[in-house]
Amino acid sequence: MSNDLVLVIGFATEVSTEASVAFSGEFFKHKNPGVMFDPRQLKVHEVMTTDVYIIQPDTTLLEAQRIFKANTIHHLPVVLDGHLEGILSKTDLLLISTAFPLHDSGARDKNNEPMLSRMLAGEVMTRHVVKLRPDMALDVAVGIFLENLFHAMPVVDSKGNLLGILSWLDLIRVAFVPQQQLHI
């Protein structure tokens, strides 16, 4: 059996002789033959992650760093009273914490600790964030990802309250996890 990875409208998909996967096609056929659905019918709320770690604007970068290190996440929505204020990425934090290079990473971490304990998420977060709506078609969200090279986007209601986050990982799950395991 031959397996190749193909990029089809932003989804890395595995194509085999047994079950082909094509996001742009009429139907999506998983490796589990017989399980087919049209991914263009999916909405963002059906795929997004709702169990999201959040921080507040007054959270120190040291605390944000601890959250990133303790969990396998790359984005922390910054929320105040349920309302999305911005987003802090692991890359944002990395750029700040490596701004003054030291060859010894342990010494760098020790020297950065006082600085990170004084800087607040609200001071360095990305404020103007592209937000998705839960009822948005998934293929529209994929287009936004591709056009802007985003890694994750928050999902908010009409009042700007955070409902979840949609990441590339969520999109990969749709491409490779059988439908019945996705609860869609």
Helix (H, G, I), strand (E, B) or coil at 26: coil
The topology (CATH level 3) of 61-167 is CBS-domain (3.10.580)
Give Cα separations from 43 to 57, 92, 97, 163 (angstroms): 30, 29, 37, 14
- Integer-rounded Cα Rg, in Å, for the chain is 19
Q: What amino acid is encoded at 7 in this protein? A: L
∠ Cα 61 64 68 (to 5°): 135
pLDDT tens-digit profile of 122-131?
999 999 999 9
pLDDT tens-digit profile of 31-40?
444 445 566 6
Q: Is the dihedral of CA 53, 59, 65, 69 positive or negative?
A: negative
**Domain spans, the chain:** 4-39+174-182, 61-167
The pTM of the full predicted model, rounded to 2 decimals, is 0.73
Determine how many CB atoms are found less than 10 A away from the CB of residue 154: 24
∠ Cα 81 85 89 (to 5°): 120
Task: Tell me the pLDDT of the chain (184 aa) as tens digits.
Answer: 333 333 333 333 333 323 333 343 334 444 444 445 566 688 999 999 999 999 999 999 999 999 999 999 999 999 999 999 999 999 999 888 877 666 667 777 777 888 899 999 999 999 999 999 999 999 999 999 999 988 999 999 999 999 999 999 998 888 776 655 555 4
